[in-house]
Amino acid sequence: MREPVTLLTLVGEAMGRTPNVAGRFFGALGQIGVLVRASAQGAGERSISAVIDGEDTATAVRTVHAAFNLAAQEVNLLVLGKGTVGRELLYQLAAQQQALAGDQDVLIKLAGLADSRRAVFDPAGIPLARWDARLQESHVPPDIPALLDRLRRLPVPILVDCTAEDTTAVYEAALARGIHVVSANKRPLAATWPVRQGLMDMARARHRRWEYETTVGASLPVIDTLKGLVRTGDTILRIEGSFSGTLGYLAGELSRGVPLSHAVRDARARGYTEPHPRDDLSGLDVARKALILARELGMQLDLDAVAIEPFAPSEALGHDDLERFFLALAEHDDAVAARIERMRQAGRVLRYLAQIDPSAPAGAPAVRVGPVEVEPDHPAARLRGTEAFVAFTTDRHRAYPLLVQGAGAGGAVTAAGVLTDILKIAMSLRGR
């Protein structure tokens, strides 16, 4: 036994006549990894006691309070990334924290925050009005395993990935520690099938949640809708759509006569593009989204099985350095403008579409993404600005496809989707 220890006692009337009180008590402690060194039940069936390590006292008390709805459900976040999406999430959390605690009984705390260079962690919660200053003051490099070790000791720990990095190893480490995951980042979901499936299996085996609604269509309910169709036994015949807010925006700007390189700079400044816009213009970002949806159907594909035609000429997309990238892109402004004009004269508009066809014949790609000249009566023709749309043609929605449509990119909508995913987890665990 490690000293000092604490005797944690749950006291209640009619305990002996209420089912599963002990299960909830010990289950809540077990979920956050608190070791019960000894336990006893009071003779009058009015109390249950557990001996726990002294260092676990505060967390254990808060967790048991939440499990019996004696306090708001506390949720602790480690947020990776404070760019367009991460920053906006922190603003929305600051604005909503009190209302969520008061109206929904969910107290969301920012336990940790990291960017590519530094990290800050405070188990009592980083004040949301001061996250920027606290991170600026920190000289601690982002040692993710160490941060996860601290996070897992707190009630309802959630890793929130607002980076665009390959974070598969981070997810593995988080899930192994019993931490839930919320992703805006598509890369772990677009990793090879065995890697992605390994993470899914890990989450399932450990009863942890992995939510990733914003990876396709920002806060649009695309993935929840698809999961609902699949789980209720519908057969998906085809998924088609315009999945990229950036490419939708660019198509609109081009048709207004804005040169490609200017429109891309503008889309980046507005927070629509990936950190490097090449990932949008090459079609890679849309291919990842299409792959994420196809895999929800059980299609065991990898990214290299997606047929990708780029939005902009591939030879313009080579530079890592952003200024050189924009200069190279500008060399194609006139040719792209001429193509758009030809389309306009033919009464068509440019859209970047994705198609998923689960029953594609052998040898034909089941998933393809690329630019399409659409007729004015095509559902994509009426999209405006960053609007995205996804059409599900299914056995039950055969005559009229089920449509999801709205803003498909941008910090505010995406952060709201991330916060919704966090709340889904918090609500599903309340009282457990």
Q: Which stretch binds ligand LTNE7NMQ (CB under 6 A): 23-31, 129-137, 240-248, 368-376?
A: 240-248
Q: Which is nearer to ligand NDP, 50 or 89 (CB)?
A: 89
Say which amino acid occupies 379.
P
Bridge partners of 395? Answer: none
Contact with ligand LTNE7NMQ (CB under 6 A): which of 408, 415, 419, 429? 408
- CA angle 361-365-370, nearest 5°? 135
CA atoms within a 13 Å half-sphere pointing along the CA-CB vector of 62: 19
421 lines the binding site for ligand NDP (CB under 6 A): no
90 lines the binding site for ligand LTNE7NMQ (CB under 6 A): no
Binding-site positions for NADPH read 186
Give all strands of the β-sheet with 157-161 in edge-to-edge order.
119-121, 106-114, 73-80, 157-161, 180-183, 210-211
By beta-carbon distance, which residue lies closest to ligand NDP? Answer: 83
Q: Which is nearer to ligand LTNE7NMQ, 29 or 218 (CB)?
A: 218
Contact with ligand NDP (CB under 6 A): which of 163, 261, 282, 355? 163
Give all strands of the β-sheet with 36-41 in edge-to-edge order.
5-11, 47-53, 36-41
Residue closest to 10 by CA, chosen among 78, 66, 88: 66
In angstroms, rounded to a whole number, what is the distance separating the alpha carbons of residues 271 and 38? 53
Contact with ligand NDP (CB under 6 A): which of 12, 142, 221, 358? 142
| Contact track, ligand NDP, 183-202, x by CB under 6 A | -xxx----------------
Binding-site positions read 81-86, 186, 274
280 lines the binding site for ligand LTNE7NMQ (CB under 6 A): yes
84 lines the binding site for ligand LTNE7NMQ (CB under 6 A): no
Task: List C-alpha distances in Å: 160 to 105, 212, 334, 375.
Answer: 21, 10, 42, 41
Contact with ligand NDP (CB under 6 A): which of 85, 90, 158, 336? 85
Binding-site positions for L-homoserine read 274
Residue 141 in tokens: 């490099």
Which residue do the tokens 């952003």 mark?
322
Residue 83 in tokens: 């760019």
Bridge partners of 353? Answer: 370
Binding site for ligand NDP (CB under 6 A): 80-86, 114-117, 142, 162-165, 184-186, 214, 218, 271-272, 274-275, 409-411, 414
Binding site for ligand LTNE7NMQ (CB under 6 A): 218, 244-246, 272-274, 280, 285, 408-409
